[in-house]
A and B are shown apart, each in its own frame.
Chain A
Amino acid sequence: MTLVIENISKKIQDKQVLKNVSFELNKGEIVGLIGRNGAGKTTLFGTISGELIPDFGRIGLDNFDYLKTTKLHDQLFYVNMTENWLTYYSPLKIKDILKIAYRNFDEEWYDSEIKRFGLNNNKRIRTYSKGMRALFMIIASFASRAQYVLLDEPLDGLDVLIRDQVKQLIVTQVTNQQTTVLIASHNLVELNTLVDRILLIKNKTIDRTFTVEDNKNVKKYQLAFIGEELPEFLRDSGTIIAQTGHVVTIVFNDFTEDIGIKLAGQEFKFVEELPTSSEDVFRASFAEEAAIWQQELEAQV
């Protein structure tokens, strides 16, 4: 069972937000979706789920056009984490509604998780704290037993202990139920420990798909240069993450043999390769924008 997103384009108020977005979600995988603020992550979720009508493209599920085949719509769960109608109801009332909406709704699991996390069954969700609301949305998502669950910034506002439990809950559900989860998040450190692969949305489309381990082109180095000035090629080919005196931490978006040879040259006191994370890939992907900001900041100073 694969959800296929094909060439989805969407304009909002005459502004292009998504352009030819294509990717696939396979059974039982957790996929991260990252991108800058306003990159179109929420629009993409809204379009996949059917809230928004795409201007162009198709979403396929089991050889069906998902958006046109309403009988399949309980195979996918998505609610906007912060703004949704569920917050006006109590978990008890929501259970009544979701039981009708989702054919495979797991009432027993829903009740047990509500109890486990100590959520008040009779109070409206909007009276909960931000973290508790997010937690409830995740419980409701998985209790639907939808094959595909879309979570938009699910770990926002959760304290460390609950965050760990939520992550555990997501992993357990994916393992036990073979649910496919697409998670949008700015917390790349958290994503690293959770996802199988990451989709990076840039310039209104999926710019790259990567796993942290397989991303061999992106390399991160810590090095100390000898002269007064930072060697020019570093600025041209990488993104400087940190600089303290002559010690620089840099990420190369597209590491080539030529850069390797230059790093081995006389200009450096020491050069050490560091493990890369998705945050590094993210920085490297937006190297040009980061460089422009850096120049603007330097100009202001």
Chain B
Amino acid sequence: MKQALTLYTRIKRKQMFLALILGILLMLLQLGSSFWQDKLPESIYSGVALTAGWLLLGFVSLLNDQSRRLDTWLYTQRISRGQLFLTRVLLLVVVPIIIGLMVNVAVVLCVHPMDLWKPLENIIEVCIGFYFFASISALIYTVIGPSWMKVAGIIFTLFMAVTPMTYIESKLNNIWWLDFTSTFILATVLFAFSYSLSKKISADTVDEAVRIKAFRWPVVLFVFLSSYLMILSNNFSTLNIKVVIGSLIIPLIASGITFTFVFKPTFKITWDR
């Protein structure tokens, strides 16, 4: 693990530094605008800006790893695929979140030294949200091949996750620790699942929509079910047979497109006898 951390840090030193700089710039922007607009309480979210900038650039640099075939080379190195996955989670997810959290705590201590609990609760909630979204991104990064499909997959999944997440949160809102704990556990389970999948990734599947064969149908089904359920839940108040059938159109198109990318069916149209 030490070798994985040392090697990856050395290779990505510049990008990680850039990500940190971007995060700090965003943080300063947040701090500056809070002071400028005389909205001091908002300055407690400056660490959140730092984390967001860092995470975003970290993800872009991950896509870069794939397009430059760094992933492929790292598979030949004195590190296992699992160690590479953990290294990335540690350096590109855990470190930015912890540093952002520390900055936030420091700012809270300066701005609200008397009333720590409520702002800290908000900050922890945001950090766990980052952790959860990072876990979804990690799973999609692992399972999906081409970079643009990874990005499209993350946007789609996050969009689909909004409705059920809001619903669950509304149910758990009164018991904040349960909300935090369940999100944290779910994200950790997703990371663990991605970790086990990352060990099975072969470099030759980089151009395949779904890199693990067993996940081809589940991905198509996920696209269909998630989009169908989301449309249904948005029309819950006016639910009737017409809505139920009408709501099928978009999910069918979305899953049809996904099916085409995943299975690459070839239809031969010919007039020759």
On A, residues with C-beta under 8 Å from B are: 10, 12-13, 43, 46, 49-53, 70-74, 76, 78-80, 83-86, 88, 96-97, 100-101
A10 to B202 alpha-carbon distance, docked (Å): 11
**In the complex, are the beta carbons of B7 and A97 less than 8 A apart?**
yes
Q: Binary interface profile of B, 49-74, with partner A (CB < 8 Å = 1, else 0)?
A: 00000000000000001001110110
**In the complex, are the beta carbons of B73 and A70 less than 8 A apart?**
no
**In the complex, are the beta carbons of A12 and B68 less than 8 A apart?**
no
**In the complex, are the beta carbons of B69 and A101 less than 8 A apart?**
no
Task: State the Cβ distance, B42 to closest chain A Cβ, in Å.
Answer: 40
A53 to B197 alpha-carbon distance, docked (Å): 13
Known: A12-B204, A84-B69. A73 touches B77 (CB 8 A): yes
On B, residues with C-beta under 8 Å from A are: 3, 6-7, 10-11, 65, 68-70, 72-73, 75-80, 83, 200-204, 208
**In the complex, are the beta carbons of B204 and A70 less than 8 A apart?**
no
In the complex, chain B residues whose CB is within 8 Å of the CB of A53: 200-202
A-B contact pairs, 9 of them (CB 8 A): A10-B204, A46-B204, A51-B203, A85-B68, A85-B70, A85-B73, A100-B6, A100-B7, A101-B77
In the complex, chain B residues whose CB is within 8 Å of the CB of A96: 10
A74 to B201 alpha-carbon distance, docked (Å): 21
* Most A Cβ at <10 Å: residue of B68, B76, B200: B76
Name the CB-closest residue of B to A50. Answer: B76
Partner of B75, one of A50, A72, A74: A50
**In the complex, are the beta carbons of B79 and A70 less than 8 A apart?**
yes
A53 to B3 alpha-carbon distance, docked (Å): 22
Known: A80-B69, A85-B69. A51 touches B76 (CB 8 A): yes
**In the complex, are the beta carbons of B7 and A101 less than 8 A apart?**
yes
A53 to B203 alpha-carbon distance, docked (Å): 8
Partner of A52, one of B7, B68, B69, B204: B204
